[in-house]
Structure 1
Amino acid sequence: MKPPAACAGAALDTAAPCPVVNYLRWDLSAQQIGELTTELMEQTKRVYDRVGSQKLEDVSYESTLKALADVEVSYTVQRNILDFPQHVSPSKAIRTASTEADKKLSEFDVEMSMRQDVYQRVVWLQDKVQKDSLRPEARRYLERLIKLGRRNGLHLPEETQEKIKGIKKKLSLLCIDFNKNLNEDTTSLPFTREELGGLPEDFLNSLEKTDNEKFKVTLKYPHYFPLLKKCHVPETRRKVEAAFNCRCKEENSAILKELVTLRAQKSSLLGFRTHADYVLEMSMAKTSQAVASFLDELAEKLKPLGEQERAVILELKKAECEARGLDFDGRINAWDMRYYMNQVEETRYRVDQNLLKEYFPTQAVTRGLLGMSQHHKTGSAIPEELLEKLIRSRQANTGLFNLRQIVLAKVDQALHTRMAADPAEEYARLCQEVLGVPATPGTNMPATFGHLAGGYDAQYYGYLWSEVYSMDMFHTRFKREGVLSGKVGMDYRSCILRPGGSEDASVMLKHFLGRDPKQDAFLLSKGLQVEGAEPLAC
């Protein structure tokens, strides 16, 4: 079925393109962060005060809806500048100032979101304005503000509103503390050169050394992932994987328990069965049942692929144990996963990661990926043969990778739909049942899972959801009709880009596809057979 004519043939907008401006600041001192935080709150509050103090007869699109939309944009940009340094700055003073700014701004966010006076003016505008006089985006934004007001309980008794406000403030601070604990973790493990066997020389040279000349390995990503992928000493991998998944175990376990409890309480006050249902009301999925069905169906289809990949990994492990004179335990451990998945890429697809990274020096990466990639010594482009191997390797380990994503999404859903769910136990159960690889005893991965306190609560499934449907869009239209097809490009512009936030995502997707979305393209891209579907061309 072709996209409807109304979607494909809409007239072009004539609005001038917005200039591209980089607002990020890397030069802010701790003092400046504090001062700019106060200034931002004062400026934003003045706008809310003006909107909330209007006489009802003065409420208009310009004075209310546009004022709130404009301040939301400017506030969001400035807020990101102030709370981003806590994640990246090498200066502890700046990280601390940024974290404190985040806490103040989070409390401010709650106060502004609970402004009864502003909400009343928005409700009055909805009753007063002629819907046809608003652009679709403005109409959608007005409806969204009303809905957000109700989701904050502004239609409920004042006593209930105060309870909700108190819970929201606690939640904000707990989320910040959860991720601050992970960001500020300084755990390191000492290893000899022999214990780090298999790691490249440039990696070893980048490590600090202890007083007794051992190499100091931290649990930060630039150390953790290369070690898990390249170190051929199982005991080293075991120690690092166990330590990584025990980071902040005690303090973050307590925070996570309180987060889950408070989220459930707030959702109940607002009339929702679970926190997941509260969150998902605003998403394309709409309900926790829809997400559960999506994940269950995907897991069932991916499990056979996961079994095949585990068998390959066991073969590799057995052969390596025999070659290195190690005992073969006949199973895949959590600390084996990344190592042997990397072995699959290098032995089955002949992708040498160490060779590949030589074409991505920092200068080339920061200038722009792929199109400008060149060897850091010779300046030569990536050889065609290496590129072809890299393309073929897209299907390497796809079963296990995506099954692990399903595990994490199911843990997230379980915590936010079942009050009694224990995070560590739930993760261990799902690792065994879905992934077929047990979690390391004594670890608590959910206590290290920043997404649970970073705005992804009940939404981690979104990574898979978006890939499934983007794959459907690409192969149904772009691949079949031509990546450079002007008609497909215009349909994409008319059906997806132009409506933007003015329509539900499910409506836009159906318009573009000309049918309901399906999982077939995603599954075929992972090397699976789908009944009645044509194989995908590379």
Structure 2
Amino acid sequence: MRRCRASTSPSLPVLLSLFLAACGSGAPPEAATPLSQGHEPSATPAGGTQGEVGAPDEKSEHDPVAIGMTPEGVRSLCDDHLQLARKHLDTIKALRGKPSTELTWANTIGRFDSALLEINNAGEFPYLMGVAHPDAAVREAAKQCEPKSDELTTAMWLDGDLAAGIKAYAQKGEKLEGERARLLSDVLRDFRRNGLDLPADKQQRLRELNAEITKIGQEFMSNLASAVATIEVSPKALEGLPKEYVDKHVPKANGKIDITTDYPDFFPFVTYSRDRKAALELWKLFTNKGGDQNVKLLEKLLSLRGEKAKLLGYKNWADYAIEPRMAKSSEAVREFLGKVRDALKEPAAAEMAELMKKHVKLGGRKTDKLAPSERYFLEDQVRKEAYSFDSQALSAYLDIRAVKKGLLDITAKMYGLAYRQVPAKAWHADVDAYEVRDAASDKLIGKFYLDLYSRPDKYKHAAMFTVRTAKRLDDGTWQSPVAALECNFPKPAAQATGDTAPALMSHEDVVTFFHEFGHVLHHLLTQSELAAFSGTAAVRDFVEAPSQMFEEWAWSREVLDIFARHHKTGEKIPDAMFQAMTRSRAFGRALGTQRQLFLALLDQELHSRVPVGDSTKIVEQVQRSTDSFDYVKGTHFQSSFGHLIGYDAGYYGYQWALSLSRDVLTRFRKEGLLNPVTAKAWRDEVLSRGGGVDEREMIQRFLGRPPSPDAYIGYLQGKD
């Protein structure tokens, strides 16, 4: 999942408190889980002729990492760029009443896009530091930026003088094409959607609502980021866990072992531990992260969103939020999710029968109702017995250092790139930095940071964060993109011998790594001239498609052979193990997708009911009507469902985008996953264009036909 930036869409207020977890198997873990083809944008300014309108005291490029490493620095980074944004907006406002001959693309919409860039520059890195910097003082200073950005954005959309200047230019009727035409259309639409037509008293209430929504979202996410719960177990509870896991969990003086709800502890324990009571206890704590405090915050937030939607003329928040996305309406979303539900009925029932059979064989009763915590464990047990697939044995071939090198080698080959590691000078010693260059010309494309290992007070999941947005600046220079990848993978440990012990990843971790790096590539390979559409600034229900597609590479024998070697012997994955992994792949997909269906429908229900009422009761109702697993009394999953803050009424987008990604894969599979010609076409037609081209048009250009759901339905039913 990736972290959004400033956008023209009102469903994406600037600097969302966006939670984008790792998206293995097409969706995140439930925890919370047009330019001419193939060239860089013109070197002329966004306004047209170079030098037509000078930028108001702006720098050609900025390095937020060099600035924002201290509380003072991160505050300065935010405040200075917000001030530059205000200067851009003031320049447009000063045009009100001017003759139409004085109104140009450059001094109206082009300048507006420059303001968006500065808002991004102000908030992107502070947002990251707010969830990743080890110093609490820096995190707290960084979190002060989002309310400031939100206040400016709200004022921007409600500014009549600003809108008058832009509308006056639009009335000239100048012929615009591509992303320039799209930006003008979106801006005019979004002035309406952000309340410009409301009377003064309602505009004031809207300002209050936006400020409170931002504040509550921050509190919710802060609670979630700091939430770490622990259970004590006996050493016997670690039976079934990998040796590396056991070695890292040493008994305390009382003989007990602490297991936390952090990812590296949680997922292996609930998947492999034979102590299923302890696994359920840990799952409950994991599910209830954020506690009753987050439940109350969420219900208040949902009420405020409902009020805002009605204030703006919409029935509910779902209708408001989905309007600018591919789906266009909540009705279309529910129709889509209904098709998913229908496609899953038979395969989900068959998978559940297999799990129950295994549950009984392990000593359970046929009348037992299985808790969601049993899905990972029983699926793994079935794969071992029915498909002879041992996921722990596979991990021996997936040392994180080899996986990282392999991922870089593969993407370099596909897209003609060269990665050069450079001094990170970053927020933690674990962080690595890489420049991305064109392999043929050595021209700089961008830069990314890898922050791969878990630590206290760090973002708990996996996501790509934008650090700097690419854009053709007014002076003709190109501001190159920068990204950061935040993960929580196992960390190689130093040994007494001076060597480093292997850090073995699960295959699911590898899929997650490929997924998130797909977002990095989408951000870095952009050629959009406008900040509004740069990189991953695409509509919410499309943006996951490129990264979901890239998950498939982690399942390819050709790809795995590049980096997957046994950490002791150096041997490749044996044929029998790979075949078992491939055979077992489809098993559990229906139940896993059913869980994602529950999350998507829960998101829709919570954002459709006005008033929302008891959110925990809604969770129970939706799960019982959707999921094959039992609802666990005493749990309130919504307190840990961070997507509700930044992916509001948009969680369906993971499956919507997955439908597109499975369709796109039909060409890659036909022509080869590592085929550089196919990869170039994908880069030119999709990755380079960001959000500046209609999403269906991009897919149609790449495939040579309109998108089809056939491959997706086949995938859900285990036929792929």
Letter in 1 for 2:660: Y
Instruction: Select between 383-392 and 430-439 the one with higher mean Cα deviation.
Output: 383-392
Q: 2:636 maps to which residue?
A: 444
1:120 paired with 2:160, answer no
Q: Quick check: 2:230–2:261 contact (8 Å CA) kept in 1?
A: yes
Closer/same/farther in 2, CA of residues 179 and 198 from structure 1, 3 Å limit: same
* Per-residue deviation, residues 366-386 of structure 1 (Å, max 9, x unmatched): 334354343333344434443
Q: 2:476 maps to which residue?
A: none
Structure 1 residue 111 displacement after superposition: 3.2
Letter in 2 for 1:286: K
Q: 1:242 maps to which residue?
A: 284
Give matches, 1:62-211, under 5 Å. 62-130=106-174, 132=175, 134-207=176-249
Letter in 1 for 2:310: S
3-state DSSP of counterpart to 1:501: coil
Closer/same/farther in 2, CA of residues 348 and 80 from structure 1, 3 Å limit: farther
* Per-residue deviation, residues 110-158 of structure 1 (Å, max 9, x unmatched): 333433322221111111241x2x2321111111111111111112222
1:295 paired with 2:337, answer yes
* Per-residue deviation, residues 250-305 of structure 1 (Å, max 9, x unmatched): 11111111111111111111111121111111011111111001111110110211
Structure 1 residue 100 displacement after superposition: 2.7
Instruction: Select between 439-448 and 97-106 the one with higher mean Cα deviation.
Output: 97-106
Q: 1:29 maps to which residue?
A: 70
Closer/same/farther in 2, CA of residues 181 and 141 from structure 1, 3 Å limit: same
Structure 1 residue 183 displacement after superposition: 0.5
Q: 1:276 maps to which residue?
A: 318
Distance 1:266 1:122 in 2: 25
Picking from 363, 379, 388, the partner of 1:350 is 388
Q: 1:366 maps to which residue?
A: 404
Closer/same/farther in 2, CA of residues 12 and 31 from structure 1, 3 Å limit: closer
Picking from 317, 339, 342, the partner of 2:377 is 339
Give matches, 1:300-449, under 5 Å. 300-321=342-363, 330-369=368-407, 370=560, 371-421=562-612, 422-449=614-641
Distance 1:93 1:210 in 2: 32
Distance 1:406 1:332 in 2: 18
Closer/same/farther in 2, CA of residues 13 and 269 from structure 1, 3 Å limit: same
Letter in 2 for 1:119: A
Closer/same/farther in 2, CA of residues 233 and 30 from structure 1, 3 Å limit: same
Distance 2:372 2:212 in 1: 35
Closer/same/farther in 2, CA of residues 53 and 347 from structure 1, 3 Å limit: farther
Distance 1:395 1:76 in 2: 40
Letter in 1 for 2:77: L
3-state DSSP of counterpart to 2:362: helix
3-state DSSP of counterpart to 1:216: strand
Q: 1:505 maps to which residue?
A: 695
3-state DSSP of counterpart to 2:108: helix
1:285 paired with 2:327, answer yes
3-state DSSP of counterpart to 2:265: helix
Instruction: Select between 284-293 and 246-255 the one with higher mean Cα deviation.
Output: 246-255
Q: Quick check: 1:303–1:434 contact (8 Å CA) kept in 2?
A: no
3-state DSSP of counterpart to 2:649: coil
Distance 2:282 2:63 in 1: 38
Picking from 650, 658, 673, the partner of 1:459 is 650
Give the number of aligned pairs.
511
Q: Quick check: 1:23–1:77 contact (8 Å CA) kept in 2?
A: no
Distance 1:16 1:138 in 2: 13
Letter in 2 for 1:320: L
Distance 1:397 1:403 in 2: 10
Letter in 1 for 2:65: R
Distance 2:273 2:125 in 1: 38
1:526 paired with 2:716, answer yes
Structure 2 segments unaligned to the other structure (5+ residues): 1-34, 44-60, 408-559
Q: 1:50 maps to which residue?
A: 91
Instruction: Select between 509-518 and 45-54 the one with higher mean Cα deviation.
Output: 509-518
Picking from 218, 223, 226, the partner of 2:265 is 223
Distance 2:185 2:347 in 1: 44
Specify which structure has the higher proportion of helix: 1
Closer/same/farther in 2, CA of residues 488 and 227 from structure 1, 3 Å limit: closer
Distance 2:146 2:572 in 1: 43
Instruction: Select between 296-305 and 420-429 the one with higher mean Cα deviation.
Output: 420-429
Structure 1 residue 516 displacement after superposition: 5.4
3-state DSSP of counterpart to 1:390: helix
Distance 2:122 2:193 in 1: 25
Distance 1:22 1:387 in 2: 46
Structure 1 segments unaligned to the other structure (5+ residues): 1-9, 529-534
Closer/same/farther in 2, CA of residues 367 and 312 from structure 1, 3 Å limit: same
More relative contact order, 1 or 2 (CA 8 Å, 6+ apart): 2
Letter in 1 for 2:93: G
Letter in 1 for 2:600: A
Q: Which of these two proteins has the greater Rg computed from alpha carbons?
A: 1
Q: Quick check: 2:227–2:289 contact (8 Å CA) kept in 1?
A: yes
Instruction: Select between 422-431 and 485-494 the one with higher mean Cα deviation.
Output: 485-494
3-state DSSP of counterpart to 2:117: helix
* Per-residue deviation, residues 18-42 of structure 1 (Å, max 9, x unmatched): 9xx9967398123322222222222
Instruction: Select between 267-276 and 242-251 the one with higher mean Cα deviation.
Output: 242-251
Distance 1:173 1:319 in 2: 50
Q: Quick check: 2:369–2:630 contact (8 Å CA) kept in 1?
A: no
Letter in 2 for 1:378: T
Distance 1:297 1:311 in 2: 22
* Per-residue deviation, residues 452-510 of structure 1 (Å, max 9, x unmatched): 01x211000000001112212333x4445776889977876776567653443245445
RMSD: 3.0
Structure 1 residue 173 displacement after superposition: 1.0
- TM-score normalised by length of structure 1: 0.86
3-state DSSP of counterpart to 1:395: coil
Distance 1:84 1:102 in 2: 11
Specify which structure has the higher proportion of strand: 2
Distance 2:36 2:105 in 1: 25
Distance 1:81 1:65 in 2: 25
Q: Quick check: 2:344–2:717 contact (8 Å CA) kept in 1?
A: no
Structure 1 residue 414 displacement after superposition: 0.6
Q: Quick check: 1:228–1:237 contact (8 Å CA) kept in 2?
A: yes
1:472 paired with 2:510, answer no
Structure 1 residue 525 displacement after superposition: 2.1
Closer/same/farther in 2, CA of residues 166 and 420 from structure 1, 3 Å limit: closer
Structure 1 residue 232 displacement after superposition: 0.9
Distance 1:211 1:149 in 2: 63
Closer/same/farther in 2, CA of residues 348 and 104 from structure 1, 3 Å limit: farther
Q: Quick check: 1:411–1:423 contact (8 Å CA) kept in 2?
A: no
Q: Quick check: 2:228–2:289 contact (8 Å CA) kept in 1?
A: no
- TM-score normalised by length of structure 2: 0.65
Closer/same/farther in 2, CA of residues 99 and 375 from structure 1, 3 Å limit: farther
